[in-house]
Amino acid sequence: MTRTASPSIAPALTSLAVGGFAIGTTEFVTMGLLPDIARGLDVSIPAAGRVISAYALGVVVGAPLLAVLTARIPRTRLLMALMVAFALGNVASALAPSYTGLVLARFLSGVPHGAYFGIASLVAVSMADPGRRGRAAAFPLLGLTAANVVGVPASSWLGQQLGWRAAYWFVAFVGLLTVALVWRLVPHVRAHEGASRRQEVRALAKGQVWVTMAIGAIGFGGMFAVYSYIAPLLTEVAGWQPRAVPIALAVFGVGMTIGTVLGGRLADWSVPRALLLGFTLTLAVLASFPFAAHSRVGVAAAVVSLGIVGSITVNALQLRLMDTAGPGAAALGASLNHSALNLANASGAFLGGLVIDAGYGWTSPAWVGAGLAAIGLAMATASVLVDRRRAAAPTPAPTTQIPAEVR
């Protein structure tokens, strides 16, 4: 992958983060506007919740598909195309005339999600010095964390004041702003010389790619098992007032921002070690939730800690997938991370709901989450050890072949 030299990459990285801000806002704002959407389309709240699932499905399908189909397209040009498609999906969401139309529009909005983050990470890494690749790759994710602090509360308020459609118009505007910023500030980045559709698909034959994706889909499900039910946990167990829940979610976003910055530095130190440390800390924080939840201060500390350790893990997973996929398929590897995280979102929420429905209480999803994180940690440890053993194994001496005519 080659690039045009730039005296400072900070403006370019910031423009990539603006795209992450738009995506993070649209991903989470629907959750806060579900009652408004349900009333506006005359459906039940559970039915309205399916638009969230439609978006997640779009991410899972779109991330690997677009990474393969766009393997030879210049990276900067591809980023702009993905953001245009993303903005159009949100315009379609704002204009959706019916419930079915909104479900379809949300699916289409999710399709560019994973590919954007994957390609943006590659572009960021290509502009950075080798020793700062972890911090550069974390920059697009900073926009995602900032969305949880600013974008989601702001667009939720806008949707409540002007109607839920206004939130999607706002996201579409930020998406188009990203296109302009990328066009103006990001240097031209070509696709990797060895990249091709065949090369991208070949990465799927690598066991470590699938193992790393499974680590994210299972291990990171622990965080979503708790986050999905954080509102009732805060109000029913910790005694918070409902109006204070958005503050807790903003605090979680602050923790994510801290974790993203810290995770980038840890990944520059060592991606495998950052991954193992991230899962170890996630396990510890989730195991503390059932005890911290009975204290207002304690649960606030647990929420911000969960945001920190979760973001450390996400960044390490993304770089691990890029490394295991290889240079010719790094776009697929980076994109698959977001497919894995959306699978984690679905599985964590489902399993957390099962134990609540079984009568184990609002803190029970934390134990489910700790179990999922423990499995993720065990899988990550095994994956790293396999790599180390392969690296330490002696290379067999080449054998001399005797020509057939001599034999």
Per-residue pLDDT tens digits of the chain, which is 407 residues long: 444 334 478 888 889 999 999 998 988 787 767 778 888 888 876 677 778 778 888 888 888 888 778 777 888 899 999 999 999 999 999 999 999 999 999 999 999 998 898 888 888 888 877 777 777 777 787 888 888 788 877 887 888 788 889 999 999 999 999 999 999 998 887 766 655 566 667 767 788 889 999 999 999 888 888 887 877 788 888 888 877 777 887 888 889 889 988 888 898 888 899 999 999 999 999 999 999 989 888 999 999 999 999 889 988 888 888 888 876 676 777 778 888 888 888 788 788 888 888 888 888 989 999 999 999 999 999 999 998 888 777 655 554 444 444 33
The most distant pair of C-alpha atoms in the chain lies apart, rounded to whole Å, by 88
Token reading at 269: 């130190």
Residues 6+ apart with CB under 8 A from 395: none
| Helix/strand/coil for 189 | strand
Positions of E strands within 302-371:
none
CB 46 within 8 A of CB 98: no
For residue 3, give the DSSP letter. Answer: B
pLDDT the model gives residue 279 = 95
For 346, how many CA atoms within 13 A lie in the half-sphere containing its CB?
Answer: 17
pLDDT the model gives residue 404 = 44
| Residue 403, number of CB atoms within 10 A of its CB | 6
pLDDT the model gives residue 1 = 46
pLDDT the model gives residue 277 = 95
Residue type, 258: I
pLDDT the model gives residue 173 = 95
CA–CA separation, 99 vs 104, rounded Å?
Answer: 9
Residues 6+ apart with CB under 8 A from 21: 143, 144, 146, 147, 151, 174
| Helix/strand/coil for 44 | coil
CB 338 within 8 A of CB 254: no
CA–CA separation, 254 vs 148, rounded Å?
Answer: 8
φ, ψ of residue 189 to 5 degrees: the values are -125, 120
Burial state string for 162-183 with b = 16 or more CB within 10 A and e = fewer than 16: eebbbbbbbbbebbbbbbebbe
Cα–Cα distance list, 43 to 36, 48, 215 (Å): 10, 7, 36
pLDDT the model gives residue 245 = 74
Nearest to 330 by CA among 185, 124, 129: 124
pLDDT the model gives residue 289 = 92
CB 265 within 8 A of CB 135: yes
Please give the domain boundaries of the chain with CATH numbers for all domains: 7-191 (1.20.1250.20), 193-388 (1.20.1250.20)
pLDDT the model gives residue 7 = 44
Token reading at 138: 């974390």
